Amino acid sequence: MKLIVATTERDDVTIVTVSGEVDVYTAPQLRSALEERIAAGHTALVVDLQDVGFLDSTGLGVLVGRVKAVRKVDGWLRVVCTNERILRLFAITGLDQVLAIHDSVEAAVAAGPTELLEPDVSA
């Protein structure tokens, strides 16, 4: 299955909407889209995974890597996800303690920089 990545802006926040499957073959596309936004100075990011049916360890690595990148420039990254399988993956890997996960884009945007669940992931 192919991956579709689209970006929009809302209240100085870049929303990256992802659809499809994020795996070893498609994760580079997601990484590239996020890196382009960060390079353009957009460091308040919401990654909407509502239309993602599958996420593997490569996709998790992309998210963790971009959290590190935006934190270096005092930015933040939030994830929107309600898919139980993907949420379980975040919990099993402990990334639910690293990534701020919300159930809607509105909640993620509203949380802004005040909700800093992300512990130091610089290791």
Give the C-alpha distances (Å, rounded to integers) separating 95 from 30, 63, 64, 107: 18, 10, 8, 19
pLDDT of 113 over the 70 cut: no
Report all structural domains of the chain as residue ranges with CATH numbers, in order of start: 18-81+93-113 (3.30.750.24)
Please report the pLDDT score of residue 68 as a whole number.
Answer: 92
Residue pair 2/35 in contact (Cβ under 8 Å)? The answer is no
Q: List, for residues 64-101, the tens digit of each pLDDT value.
A: 999 999 999 999 999 999 999 999 999 999 999 989 99
pLDDT of 49 over the 60 cut: yes
Mean pLDDT value across residues 22-39: 96
Angle at 21 between CA 109 and CA 58, to 5 degrees: 85
Please report the pLDDT score of residue 123 as a whole number.
Answer: 42
